[in-house]
Every structure is written in structure tokens, then in C-alpha cells.
Amino acid sequence: MDKYAAIVSFWQNKKISNVAELEVALNGHIILFAYHSGKIENSSITYNDTREIFEHDGVTSYTGDLKTLFEIHNAREASRYMFAAYENRIQLDESFIKKLHYELTKGTYDTRRFQLGERPGHFKKHDYVTGIEEVGALPEDVNSEILELLDEIKNVQKRDVLTAAAYFHAKFENIHPFADGNGRVGRLATNYFFIQNDHPPIIFHEDSKKSYYSSLEAWDRSQNIEAMKLYLKMETVRTWEKQLGRKVYCK
């Protein structure tokens, strides 16, 4: 058994069936998920600030900008929403994605976006540059493309979870449905998809963002999903291998 397969088996053997068991399984990880995901796009985010806000709802001796504080606080609220959604068996649907976006971006949209009519929790009304070669779906096409994507990943088989997650994440970021916050929403939604399908959620480590962005660009250029699959597999191992210790081994 290779390292990735051993980790997936390790997670599935937990037989998580309720939110209390999920919280125990993810103890020590939620702060890291939020910290790394936020820092991919905001270098001002620190682990200590993230930990203080998650644990104490505030920071001491903070000298940074307020938007960064809002983003960290929002990450905590979005994580709480994810747990509540799991407890209530909420599906990964359009409403879930919009609510996730609202929780992650409330209070962070700048004046220009508001003047353009953009709002947290609502799909974009204008085009925005998303990557080297892409600007995302046309605003008028976002709703239909998101619904199509969500339909495509329904009823996925366990053996295909990694492929479906890679497809969902790459396509979601390519659609770029919101005026801001697409990366954070896509990463948390992907982890929710993993959890719903009995696969360990992952930390999108900020120091591997070069590989992360390359895997997104591979989809943008040629709809190549293999790079994203490899990236998600790599991050699964990196996130969970310490918990297995010497029992996990490579081929």
C-alpha cells in the first residue's frame, strides 16, 4: 500500500458519522487549514494571529491592516459554518457555496467593488483577471456553469473522489464565480467535498503555492486534470503522514 492509500484508509477507518467525531478528527488542523489558505493570497496573515482569533476571538499587539483581521475572523466563521453544514447534512450546492463566500468575504470588499455592485455571497457582475490566460466565465454564465459543475460531481464513487475533487477545484477556479475570494471559497468547498465523501481534508500549504498555481494553469491551458490530482494527492500525504508515523511507508 502506498502512502496516499494508507492515509485514506486511516481516515476511513475512523468511520466518522457525526460532527462531534469530525471535530475530534480535525483537532489541531482547522487553524492550519485557515492559516495556509489565507496566506496563499495574503502574505500579512500569520499563524499566531490566526490561532489567537480562532481560540480567543482577538489578537494582542496587532499592527497590521484591518482587512487582514477581517479575513482571519471570517475564516473562523466559515469553518464553523462548514461544521454546522456537515451536522445538518447540507449538500455542496449553489446555496452552500454562496453562504461560504459570504462568511469568508463579509466586510472585506473594497469601495470599488461595492460601486460596481459586487456583494459578498453573490456571484460576480463583472469580469476579473483570474490567471495568466483566463478571466473566468462571463458573469451571465456563472450560475449555469456552477450548477453544471455541481451536477457533474454528484454521486461520485469512492474510488473516484480524488479525480472528482481535482476536477471540481480546477473548474471552480476557472469559472471564477465571485468578484473576490474565489481561492479561499474553492479550497474550503473542496475540503467539504472531501469530508462528505469520506476522504481526509487537506492543508493547501502556502509554501507549495507554486505547484498549486501551476496545476490550476494546466487546467486553464489544456483542461489537464492530472497536475491537480497530483497536487491534491501530495497535500493529502503532507497533511496527514505524521499521524501515521512509521506505519506509513512508500512503495
Model confidence over 96-120: pLDDT tens digits? 999 999 999 999 999 999 999 999 9
pLDDT computed for residue 42 by the predictor: 96
Considering the four listed CATH numbers 3.40.710.10, 2.60.220.10, 1.10.3290.10, 2.60.40.10, the one that applies to the domain covering 3-121+133-247 is 1.10.3290.10
Mean per-residue pLDDT of the chain? 93
Model confidence over 22-39: pLDDT tens digits? 999 999 899 999 999 999
Q: Grid coordinates 476522504 are at which residue?
A: 199
Average pLDDT over residues 57-86: 92
CB neighbours (10 Å) of residue 128?
A: 16
pTM of structure: 0.94
Q: What gap in Å lies between CA 28 and CA 205, rounded to an integer?
A: 15
Nearest to 37 by CA among 178, 187, 208, 153: 187
Average pLDDT over residues 171-190: 97
Q: What is the maximum alpha-carbon separation in the chain?
A: 56
Q: Is the predicted pLDDT of residue 246 greater than 80, yes or no?
A: no
pLDDT computed for residue 58 by the predictor: 87
The helix or strand, by DSSP H or E, that contains position 144, with its residue range, turns out to be helix 142-152
pLDDT computed for residue 251 by the predictor: 38
pLDDT computed for residue 60 by the predictor: 83
pLDDT computed for residue 158 by the predictor: 75
pLDDT computed for residue 131 by the predictor: 63
Domain parsing of the chain, residue ranges: 3-121+133-247
Q: Is the predicted pLDDT of residue 132 greater than 80, yes or no?
A: no
Average pLDDT over residues 142-171: 94
